[in-house]
Chain A
Amino acid sequence: MAKKLIMMRNIIKRYYIGQPNELQILNGIDLDIHEGEFVAIVGASGSGKSTLMNMIGALDRPTEGTYFLNDTDVSRLNDKQLSAIRNKEIGFVFQTFNLIPRANALKNVELPMLYAGMKKKERQDRAMDLLRLVDMQDRYTHKPNELSGGQKQRVAIARAMANDPSIILADEPTGALDSKTGHMVMDIFHKLHEKEGKTVVLITHSPELAAETERIITISDGSIISDTGVTEKIKPESVFPGTEVSAE
Chain B
Amino acid sequence: MNIWENLKMALSSIMANKLRSLLTMIGIIIGICSVITITTLGTTLRSTITTTLNSLGSNVMEVYVSPKPSVDSDVAYDTISPDDFITYSQVEKLVKEYPDIRIAESNYVCEASSKNSLGKEVGTKITGAYNGTLDNDGSRLLAGRMISMDDVSKKKYTCVVTNVFVRQYFKNHEEPIGQTIKLVSADNGLPYEFTIVGVCTYNSLFSGAAMGREEDIKTPVYIPNSVAKEMQGSYGEERYMYWLLSFDPKTDGKIAKANVASFFEKEYPANKNFETIVFSNQDTMKIIDIIINVITIFVAVIASISLIVGGVGVMNIMLVSVTERTREIGIRKALGAKKSTIKFQFVTEAIIMCLIGGIIGVVLGLFNGFIAGVIANLVISSIPTAKQVLGTIVMVPSVTAIIISIIFSMITGVFFGYYPASKAAKMNPIDALRYD
Interface residues, chain A, CB within 8 Å of chain B? 54, 57, 59-60, 79-80, 83-84, 86-88, 92, 94, 98-103, 111-112, 114-117, 159, 163
B residues touching A (Cβ–Cβ < 8 Å)? 1, 5, 12-13, 16, 327-328, 330-341, 429-430, 433
The one of A60, A88, A98, A116 that contacts B331, using a Cβ cutoff of 8 Å: A98
B334 adjacent to A86 (CB under 8 Å): yes
Nearest-neighbor residue (CB-CB) of A84 within chain B: B336
A114, B1: Cβ atoms closer than 8 Å:
yes
B336 touches which of A98, A99, A103, A116 (Cβ 8 Å):
A116
Name the contact of B339 in the complex, choosing from A79, A86, A94, A101 (C-beta under 8 A): A79
User: A102 to B433, Cβ gap below 8 A?
Assistant: no
Bound complex: CA of A59 vs CA of B330, how far in Å?
10
A100 touching B328 by the CB < 8 A rule?
yes
Chain A residues in 8 Å Cβ range of B333? 59, 83, 86
Partner of B13, one of A84, A88, A102: A102
A94 to B430, CA, bound (A): 12
* Contacts between chains A and B (CB distance < 8 A), count: 63
Cα of A139 to Cα of B331 in the assembled complex, Å: 21
Which A residues are CB-close (under 8 A) to B330? 98
Asked, given contacts A79-B339, A115-B1, A115-B341, whether A101 binds B328 with beta carbons under 8 Å apart, the answer is: yes
User: Chain B at the A interface: mostly helix, strand, loop or mixed?
Assistant: helix
Cβ 8 A contact of A102, one of B12, B338, B339: B12
23 of the cross-chain contacts (CB-CB < 8 Å) are A57-B334, A59-B433, A60-B430, A80-B339, A83-B333, A83-B337, A83-B339, A84-B336, A86-B333, A87-B336, A92-B334, A92-B335, A98-B327, A100-B332, A101-B328, A102-B16, A112-B335, A115-B335, A115-B336, A115-B337, A115-B338, A115-B341, A159-B335
Whether A88 touches B339, Cβ cut-off 8 Å, given contacts A98-B331, A100-B328, is no
A56 to B327: give the CA distance in the assembly, Å: 20
B433's partner among A83, A98, A115, A116 (CB-CB below 8 A) is A98
The smallest beta-carbon distance between B426 and chain A, in angstroms, is: 10
Going nearest first, the 9 A-B pairs with the smallest beta carbon separation are A87-B336, A115-B336, A83-B338, A98-B331, A112-B335, A86-B336, A102-B16, A59-B429, A59-B430
Is the beta-carbon distance between A112 and B336 smaller than 8 angstroms? yes
Closest B-chain residue to A165, C-beta based? B336
CB closest chain-A residue, reference B335: A112
Residues of A within 8 A of B341 (CB): 83, 115
Bound CA span A159–B340, Å: 22
B157, chain A: closest CB distance, angstroms: 88
Residues of A within 8 A of B12 (CB): 102-103
Chain B hits for A87, CB < 8 A: 335-337
Name, among B1, B5, B331, B335, the residue most crowded by chain A CB atoms within 10 Å (CB to CB). Answer: B335
Between B331, B333, B337, B339, the greatest number of chain A beta carbons within 10 A of the residue's beta carbon is seen for B331
Selected from A80, A84, A94, A117, the residue in CB contact (under 8 A) with B1 is A117
Q: How far is the CB of B247 from chain A (nearest CB, A)?
A: 65
Chain A residue numbers with a CB within 8 Å of B13 are 102
Best-surrounded residue of B1, B330, B338 (most CB of chain A within 10 A)? B338
Q: Which residues of A contact B336 (CB under 8 A)?
A: 83-84, 86-88, 112, 115-116, 163
B340: nearest chain-A partner, CB-CB:
A80
Q: Are A54 and B430 in contact (CB under 8 A)?
A: yes
Measured in the bound complex, the distance between the Cα atoms of B332 and A60 in whole Å is 15
Check A111–B16 contact: CB distance below 8 A. no
A94: chain B residues within 8 A (beta carbon): 433
Residue in B closest to A117 when the chains form the complex, CB atoms = B1
Bound CA span A83–B429, Å: 10
